[in-house]
């Protein structure tokens, strides 16, 4: 059995490793010619870390990422709304990590290159089209160096892990159009600073129209008594569904003057955001976009995975984690396929599509961050006593419900941590 993966991002490379572990022959085709460590911070939630643990990556993750200790939600005035321990600090059998995306992707790339062989990761090759063939599938790529069409390449199965602008998805849904904008723009950055709070805390402050997120992402910096702090400033500038101001790109430089005036007084006793921003040399601007869930991912011997399958708002720290969960689910289905590729892809879809579609919907309602908007709506001028604004029961119910939808409630994680077979 030979599987072809279009896209060498976090989803594609994790899928390659999971399939390889099941004895499946895999080739990854990535459009970018030289894969560079791009992006700022991402979170790996415990259920995804359990998958990475089975791939033997825990030590490397612990070496480079921060083991997240707690999540704290604050109002726009910096007053605490909710605090919960995370990962092993919350009693999970596996940690949660906050890590630089590029570092994590480089780890996956190095591991995949070592285990699959360098010839199995082909860069500078963009997926163009595929068609069913006798007992398989033919695929054509474009060689980005020469512009030449490469193919047909015969394979047993195609996985479209080619991100939010997936060309494989477009082949299934040609009239879908661009991603849908939430109306919010994110400015992301990472900068070395003094540690804040526990040194392993993730914070969110504000509400649906204006938010700040910050968390440390480097264990090496922590060991030196410093914090490589990932931060995101978010502003709502348009209405949901309006065309985004720019086509989203993960490397578009942002301008401080576009958002800092609104954050000028966000100086709290636990973090001085204007000072943090003033130390930061560069930000990246990214409109918050997703796509409506589709009815099917698997068509014959081809399927979708990760952001190609279920792009979602970066709320609740789920994008990379869900791609990793897809990877293992797909490998388990393929491993037990006994030659029935189409059946395996449909089984994978049945397991993963409904839950990720529910997550896309939950993230549109701000996921666990919904409590911040509830507090803003009920007490826009601030509060003395939180319990006059929102009850402990309401806070707990919202946090628990989101964990269940995203599959990282304690019971689900314990199950995932035990075995994937
Ligand atoms: C450069 C970059 C930086 C990012 N930075 C952040 C960040 O800072 N914080 C964050 O939370 N999330 C970030 N993300 C998104 C995050 O990594 C994903 O949401 C998540 O990990 C899901 O991964 P994925 O593999 O499904 O998609 P992606 O990570 O988007 O990977 C898709 C891959 O497919 C490749 N590709 C695209 N088209 C084709 C084609 N036609 N043929 C072959 N290959 C193709 C892309 O080059 C890319 O490597 C970033 C993504 C990218 C691509």
pLDDT in tens, 27-51: 999 999 987 777 799 999 999 999 9
Beta strand extents in 262-400 (DSSP E only): 284-290, 302-304
Q: Which of 130-139, 217-226, 279-288, 365-374 has the lowest mean pLDDT?
A: 365-374
- Considering only CA atoms, which residue is closest to atom 49 of ligand 1? 9
104 cis-preceded (ω within 30 degrees of 0):
no
Share of residues in the chain with pLDDT > 90 (%): 81
**Ligand 1, CB cutoff 6 Å, lining residues:** 6-12, 29-32, 38-40, 42, 101, 126-127, 161-163, 167, 188, 250, 306-308, 314, 319-320, 323
Computed over every residue of the chain, the mean pLDDT equals 93
**Confidence check: pLDDT of 225 > 60:** yes
- Considering only CA atoms, which residue is closest to atom 11 of ligand 1? 42
Cα of 161 from ligand 1 centre, angstroms = 9
Q: Which of 33, 101, 172, 323 to mutate to test the pocket of ligand 1 (most atoms within 8 A of CB)?
A: 101
Total length of the chain: 421
Structure tokens at 165: 């602008």
Q: Which of 162, 189, 363 to mutate to test the pocket of ligand 1 (most atoms within 8 A of CB)?
A: 162
- Considering only CA atoms, which residue is closest to atom 48 of ligand 1? 9
- Considering only CA atoms, which residue is closest to atom 31 of ligand 1? 9
Structure tokens at 95: 């940690």
pLDDT digits (tens, 9 = 90+) for 97-153: 999 999 999 999 999 999 999 899 999 999 999 999 988 999 999 999 999 999 899
pTM, entire model: 0.94
Q: Which of 32, 39, 167 to mutate to test the pocket of ligand 1 (most atoms within 8 A of CB)?
A: 39
Cα of 163 from ligand 1 centre, angstroms = 5
pLDDT digits (tens, 9 = 90+) for 16-25: 999 999 999 9
Q: Which of 60-74, 95-109, 217-231, 361-375 has the lowest mean pLDDT?
A: 361-375
pLDDT digits (tens, 9 = 90+) for 177-212: 999 999 999 999 999 999 999 999 999 999 999 999
Give buried/exposed letters for 222-241 (b at 16+ CB in 10 A, else e): beeebbbbbbbbbbbbeeee
Reduced to 3 states, what is the DSSP secondary structure of residue 41? strand
Cα of 10 from ligand 1 centre, angstroms = 7
Q: Which of 109-118, 325-334, 389-398, 403-412 has the lowest mean pLDDT?
A: 403-412
Placement of tokens 């990854």 in the chain:
28
Q: Which atom of ligand 1 is nearest to the CA of 311?
A: 19
- Considering only CA atoms, which residue is closest to atom 13 of ligand 1? 39
End-to-end CA distance of the chain: 19
Residue-level pLDDT at 421: 47
Q: What pairs with residue 126 in β-bridges? A: 142
Residue-level pLDDT at 419: 59
Share of residues in the chain with pLDDT > 70 (%): 99
CA distances from 77 to 210, 329, 366 (A): 12, 42, 19
Largest CA distance in the chain: 70
Q: Which of 160, 163, 283 to mutate to test the pocket of ligand 1 (most atoms within 8 A of CB)?
A: 163
Q: What is the arithmetic mean of pLDDT over 379-407?
A: 91
Q: Which atom of ligand 1 is nearest to the CA of 307?
A: 26
**Confidence check: pLDDT of 414 > 80:** no
Residue-level pLDDT at 92: 87
**Confidence check: pLDDT of 420 > 70:** no
**Confidence check: pLDDT of 411 > 50:** yes
pLDDT digits (tens, 9 = 90+) for 263-320: 999 999 999 999 999 999 999 999 999 999 999 999 999 999 999 999 999 888 889 9
Q: What is the arithmetic mean of pLDDT over 312-332?
A: 93
E strand or H helix at 187: strand 180-193
Cα of 399 from ligand 1 centre, angstroms = 28
- Considering only CA atoms, which residue is closest to atom 5 of ligand 1? 39
**Confidence check: pLDDT of 251 > 90:** no
């Amino acid at each position: 059995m030979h599987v072809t993966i279009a896209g060498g991002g976090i989803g594609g490379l994790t899928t390659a490793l999971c399939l390889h572990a099941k004895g499946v022959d895999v080739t990854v085709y990535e459009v970018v010619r030289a894969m560079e460590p791009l992006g700022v911070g991402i979170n790996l939630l415990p259920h995804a870390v359990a998958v990475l643990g089975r791939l033997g990556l825990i030590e490397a993750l612990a070496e480079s990422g921060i083991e997240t200790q707690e999540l704290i939600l604050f109002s726009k005035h910096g007053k605490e709304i909710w605090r919960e321990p995370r990962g092993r600090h919350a009693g999970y059998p596996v940690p949660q990590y906050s890590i630089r995306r590029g570092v994590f992707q480089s780890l996956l790339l190095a591991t995949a290159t070592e285990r699959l062989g360098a010839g199995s990761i082909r860069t500078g090759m963009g997926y163009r089209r595929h068609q069913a063939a006798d007992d398989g599938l033919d695929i054509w790529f474009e060689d980005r160096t020469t512009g030449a069409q490469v193919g047909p390449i015969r394979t047993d199965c195609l996985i479209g892990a080619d991100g939010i602008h997936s060309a494989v998805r477009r082949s299934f849904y040609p009239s879908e159009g661009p991603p849908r904008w939430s109306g919010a723009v994110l400015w992301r950055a990472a900068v070395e600073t003094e540690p804040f709070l526990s040194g392993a805390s993730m914070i969110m402050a504000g509400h649906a129209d204006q938010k700040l997120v910050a968390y440390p992402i480097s264990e090496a910096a922590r060991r030196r008594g410093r914090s490589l702090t990932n931060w995101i400033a978010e502003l709502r500038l348009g209405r949901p569904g309006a065309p985004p101001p720019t086509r989203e790109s993960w490397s578009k430089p942002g301008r401080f003057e576009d958002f800092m005036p609104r954050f000028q007084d966000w100086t709290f006793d636990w973090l001085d955001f204007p000072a943090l921003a003033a130390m930061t040399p560069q930000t990246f601007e990214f409109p918050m976009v997703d796509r409506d869930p589709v009815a099917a991912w698997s068509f014959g011997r081809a399927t979708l995975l990760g952001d190609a399958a279920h792009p979602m708002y970066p709320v609740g720290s789920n994008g990379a984690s869900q791609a990793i969960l897809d990877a293992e689910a797909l490998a388990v289905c393929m491993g037990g396929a006994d030659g029935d590729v189409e059946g395996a892809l449909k089984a994978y879809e049945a397991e993963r599509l409904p839950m990720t579609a529910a997550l896309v919907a939950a993230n549109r309602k701000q996921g666990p961050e919904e409590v911040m908007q509830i507090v803003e709506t009920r007490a826009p001028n601030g509060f003395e006593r939180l319990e006059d604004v929102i009850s402990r029961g309401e806070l707990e119910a919202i946090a628990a419900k989101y964990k269940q939808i995203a599959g990282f409630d304690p019971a689900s994680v314990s199950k995932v941590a035990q075995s994937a077979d």
